[in-house]
Chains A and B, each alone.
Chain A
Amino acid sequence: MYVGEDPLFGLMNRIGKPVDGHRPFPRYRTTPGGWRTLVESLGGNTLSVVGLWGEPAAVHVALREELSGDVVVVSLDCPNGHFPSLSAVRPSVIRLERTACDLFGLVADGAVDPRPWLDHGAWGVTHPLAVPPGPAPAEPQRYPFLKTEGEGLHQIPVGPVHAGIIEPGHFRFTANGETVARLEQRLGYVHKGIEGLMAGRTVGDAARLAARISGDATVAHSLAFARAVEAALGVAVPPRAVWLRGVMAELERLANHLGDIGAICNDAAFAFMLAEMGRLREAVLLTNDAVFGHRLLMDRVVPGGVSVDLPDDGGKRILELVAELRRRFPPLVAIYESKASLQDRTVGTGIVSIRLVSRFGTGGYVGRASGRGQDARRTPGYAPYDDLDFEIPVLTAGDVNARVWVRIREVEQSLSLLEQMIRRMPGVPRDSHGRTPLPRVDLPAGAGEGMALVESFRGEIMTWVRLADDGTVARCHPRDPSWFQWPLLEAAIEGNIVADFPLCNKSFNGSYSGHDL
């Protein structure tokens, strides 16, 4: 029987048994045979991989049925530390499987690429999250880069310390004259061991770590962690907290998109735009600071609700910001559109095909610029977005220009969302002392498993959490959208000139920290 067309839940019922207490999406435990059936199904196009992560003796994969948007988690116990690899049918999991091996010593049998990924041999320990961890590596290993052979090829190694004010990573170009024949990335330099640090911490302490997974997406990562914890405990947060979270998330999206648009133009040698967008971005950050008390909104979204409420004039200030950006942003867009020298650099550069974004399940502006419209705010959707009007811009050109335009359109949408949310913000009843309490509920201590999908400015974050009986975090896996975007940068640059790499890279703006964890 051909299983590729099986609806997701039909497949799950055949290969797995539901696990109790996993919310809001179901989790199924399967057998090695069931896992192999799953590998076969992944050969088709109906499912996409949302995440893959390890535990000391188990591996989990989160899947989405593209058509219905249904999400499930499938788990396989691996008492001997082995599981059949998914990488041959799904290249998007190659790096995730390598990571599961680095951190837990789980070996993916038949893996396309068995090299280490985050482990550079410097930790003084191997498989740090396995029970027990492995011994320190004997000898520093040389990392074997992929071979590129051919006449007239030369290599350009770049990084980990780059020339600009950016995060560290290593890029190895093989070029034929000006043209890039292959780019190979090596990441992991900013691996901080966040998953290891979270284990055993209270939810509050782990939330501070979640807020620092990727500083530019601190609201989104905090929100994903908070919602996963709230799902695990079955807690509903006050409506006002839900709406304030939405406001913060859109302010974050706005600030990042404005910064990115300026930075992309700057890498095409159009510094004017960097300066102008820098001013707009600063206007957002100043408002953040005035209204919520932190420029990047760190630690403002917490499990149970939010840690600050709007001051009396907060709504007014945000509406003023929206009005100011509505006035100042469109003329700059008109300039972007009308400069032939700029268009010459961005149009047709760094093309990513729809085939690749579908295969990798790539989201965010990278996916949406190449025709894949997935946005977690819509599918599976979450409050308050299910109650708001907004569009998800989707383009098909897949080049740097399309990634700029998706951001431009999303800035416009975020402005409209902010306006809607401020105007319709639910209030909080005063308590018996006449004070308005903070929209936040206390969390019960208890065990549970939860998962959340949250749309950051960069794309979809998946956070999975298991809480122990005493309410501490037993295991948390936050999967940044960059995992499914970085590999496509290797494809985007192929056939382009080396000088266009900064431009392509900036148009992706992958997070090193979010990826390396």
Chain B
Amino acid sequence: MLKHIWAALTGGPVTTDAPPLDADALVQLRDAELAGRLDAAAHRRLGRSLSIRAVDAGSCNGCELEIHAVNNPIYDLERFGIRFVASPRHADVLLVTGPVTRNMAEALRRTWDATPDPKWVVACGDCACTGGVFAGSYACVGPVESVIPVDLTLPGCPPPPRVLLAGLLALLESSAEPLSAIAPPAGRQGHSRP
């Protein structure tokens, strides 16, 4: 084990560079602000850190696998100050997956109620964005936004870790400064923060 630790210490980081911010995500967040759902002053209060609570509202568990992956040493979400927390009461962001099954709709609503303001909701994966292949079932309500307001959608089935990372970084960026002040992320390509 000591050999292993030594190799890890001397081998340099295994973490990949941060992906460029998701431009589409920034546009979505700005729209959310224009619609009056997010308030720029609240963004500033959070600083450069976000606590996320994952809520599975009926996913096939594919999305969960990729959410786990952004926490692995390769993508290492925590280096950006974004971390997953155990309780909605500690969360700034609800990251919701799945086509919101009718059996989970109430639990999702209650989780949202338990999350303190200001809060963001990110719909993760095609199911959460549109209902995906499960749309129209007697057992599903449909997209997350039909149950709680959604600020950001990250499509994909499932969205790969780089897409998740880019979207969450956009959220972090937008919460660090007023959304209206954000320029398109052209100059930020490949930019990696400590």
Contacts and interface: CB of A to CB of B under 8 A. Distances in A.
A215 B138 contact: no
B158 A168 contact: no
What range describes how many residues of B lie at the interface?
Answer: 35 or more
> Which of A276, A282, A331 has the most B CB atoms < 10 Å from its CB?
A282
B101 A189 contact: yes
Of the four ranges (under 10, 10 to 19, 20 to 34, 35 or more), the interface on chain A belongs to 35 or more
Contacts of A160: 104, 107
Most chain B Cβ neighbours within 10 Å, of A123, A160, A212, A296: A212
A281 interface: yes
A213 B62 CA distance: 10
Contacts of B104: 160, 168, 189-190
A225 interface: no
B103 A191 contact: yes
**Interface of chain B, main secondary structure:** mixed
A118 to B, nearest CB: 8
A218 interface: yes
A215 B59 contact: yes
Interface in A171-214: 188-194, 196-197, 208-209, 212-214
A279 B73 contact: yes
Given A215-B65, A335-B4, 8 more contacts: A120-B102, A164-B86, A165-B56, A190-B58, A216-B61, A218-B62, A289-B160, A331-B4
B103 A124 contact: no
Nearest to A208: B133
Contacts of A295: 66, 160
A275 B5 CA distance: 12
The 4 closest A-B pairs by CB, nearest first: A215-B62, A278-B72, A193-B139, A163-B86
Given A167-B59, A208-B133, A161 B99 contact: no
Contact of A168 (B68, B87, B107): B107
B62 A212 contact: yes
Interface string B136-155: 11111000000000000000
A363 interface: no
B106 interface: yes
A512 interface: yes
B157 A281 contact: no
B62 A192 contact: no
Interface string B58-78: 111111111111011110000
A interface, by DSSP: helix, strand, loop or mixed? loop
Contact of A122 (B59, B98, B102, B136): B102
B54 interface: yes
Interface string A113-144: 00000101011110010000000000000000
Contact of B103 (A161, A190, A298): A190
B186 interface: no
Contact of B72 (A125, A212, A282, A338): A282
A513 interface: yes
Contacts of A122: 102-103, 105-106
Given A122-B106, A128-B139, A190-B98, A165 B84 contact: yes
Interface string A89-131: 0000000000000000000000000000010101111001000
B1 interface: yes
B51 interface: no
B181 interface: no
B160 A191 contact: no
B140 to A, nearest CB: 6
